[in-house]
Amino acid sequence: MTHRTKLPTYAYLAGTAALALVLHAFPASAKEPQAQAGGAMATLAQLGVEISGMDPNDPIMSKEEFDAGTKIYFERCAGCHGVLRKGATGKALTTDITIGHGFDYLRDFITYGSPAGMPNWGTSGELTEDEIAMMAKYLMIEPPAPPEWGMPEMQASWQVLVKPEDRPKEKMNDIDLDNLMSVTLRDSGQIALIDGGTYDIRAVIDTGYAVHISRISASGRYLFVIGRDGLVNMIDLWMETPANVAQIKIGIEARSVETSKFAGYEDRYAIAGGYWPPQYVIMDGETLEPLKIVSTRGNVYDEQVYHPEPRVASIVSSHNNPEFIVNVKETGKILFVDYTDLKNLKTVEVEAERFLHDGGFDSTKRYFLVAANQRGKIAVVDTKEDKLTALIETGGQIPHPGRGANFTHPVYGPVWATSHLGDETVALVGTDPEGNADHAWKIVDTFPALGGGSLFIKTHPNSKHLYVDATFNPDAEISAAAAVFDIDKMGGNPDEDPEFVTLPIVEWAGITEGQPRVVQPEFNKEGTEVWFSVWNAKDKESAIVVVDDKTLELKKVIKDKGLITPTGKFNVLNTQKDIY
């Protein structure tokens, strides 16, 4: 059965202004703040707003401001701070905290950011002065709770655009799929498929808002992407021009999608995790038909108290068992979900650490390492035996590895690396319990890179370099560059930090307007090139910069009017095979 209903991304915003009846103090504008918390309050009359049935002397934001603030918060803030503003990667923003800080503090913090990972939304030009003033007021009002999203809503949003029997029986294009790049065009709600050999844009495909990741089916045929608005798109790469063949909206907000990879279950299932509602859904791997929804609400592992918003962060597919590995951020639990029998679902629950975010496999693909970022730790689990192997303190603030980086250190042997959102450090974890037992599951080295605000660290088995970005650093010069380390020159002397070369990525791109940020190094299939996104404001020029890995020289700048706010890039082969 084909479903054609498409629900609006922000449908849940309707009527949220009524939730603003929780009244607190805030000034009317950024230029003329009337009070900090506890002082004089802006009223409906002062704002020039009339809302039926309300006293004009009531202190409140206008409906228009509240609706606009809710939309901006969803788009820019909820990922780190949570829909209910209870915090995770970012600090908690509940009203008992924000009111105490007051308007001026909130306005300035939003404007200027911090080297500890808070983006500078004002000085970068992402938000206007008026929008920042509105958001400072918005944060001093209780957050609206979005509606639930269950099977009826999923079924209504589910669309099979091309039935499996009507799809190609063989590849119908000349694209080298192994070297194809899936590039997120964040603010246009699209992805661009770019040929890694010719640098040509082969397709621009409509998707959900701000696609967070791209994942490849075990066969390499289907590309799955998920937007922050919870929309999952399934793209058939065999079509003459790759296009959507199915889609479903699995919730209000989401980040993660993955497919089954274990032998005998290739391409059979897909899974997506929700930020709101906090849940995951297992779907048919050919059609995205929703089959099983599982809530992740429950008690946090350490305090044993109930949490209303335990969001599903990263999901990976085990290579050792027919299982999905589901990381639940707020409760600190890692779930091994056996997909062999959905009717009698078996799940192993591992107590790890809060607040689980992103991570990847070690080079053997037996161990999965995931950042518990606000606790400054890396949790390691054994995917053969489904149990916790280690909890490792990184020594840095807010580890944020992406999928991390695997390489052989000249002294410590096989290691996995993470950078940090909250400071400039890179930390190396030993990952070889058999050949290098003395170094296994320990921080064997830490050293500085460019600065705080790093989102991704990357290398490749064919490369001798380690690349680190600093995307959210408020210093425009730092966020416009990337650091690269020579792995062969990494020594074992703790008193000598390895030196790095700074790549002037934005300068090479030739972009002079705005504050473009460099984000996510990604290798081509051979490991000979590294691609960087130059992420600028939606109304300004962006680019992709390609660097020769051997010479560290500029190789290509890809520009196009359709490259709007490029962020994440995912090479098909590296993503399919978990090569990083």
Three-point CA angle 441, 375, 369, nearest 5°: 35
pLDDT of residue 246: 98
- Which residues of the chain are under the pLDDT cut of 50? 1-42, 44, 47-54, 59
Q: In 76-221, where do the E strands start and end? A: 159-160, 180-185, 190-195, 201-206, 211-216
pLDDT of residue 20: 29
With the C-alpha atoms ordered 145, 356, 445, 408, is the resulting torsion angle positive or negative? negative
Q: Show the 3-state SS of 4-36.
A: CCCCCCCHHHCCHHHHHHCCCCCCCCCCCCCCC
pLDDT of residue 44: 46
Output the CA–CA distances (angstroms, integers) from residue 17 to 62, 203, 205, in the order listed.
8, 40, 34
**β-pair partners for 531:** 522, 546
* Cα separation, 245 vs 161, whole angstroms: 5
For residue 236, which of 283, 173, 315 has the smallest C-alpha distance? 173
* Cα separation, 342 vs 260, whole angstroms: 13
The DSSP code for 508 is H
User: Where do we find the tokens 């915090």?
Assistant: 87
**To 10 degrees, what angle do helices 129-138 and 63-72 make?**
100
* Cα separation, 224 vs 244, whole angstroms: 9
* Cα separation, 236 vs 252, whole angstroms: 25
Positions annotated as catalytic residues are 77, 80-81, 118, 357, 400
Dig out the tokens for 485 from the structure.
């380390």
Output the CA–CA distances (angstroms, integers) from residue 175 to 197, 295, 374, 530, in the order listed.
9, 40, 42, 20
pLDDT of residue 51: 43
Three-point CA angle 564, 541, 192, nearest 5°: 30
pLDDT of residue 5: 27
pLDDT of residue 438: 96
Name the strand (E) or helix (H) holding 69. helix 63-72
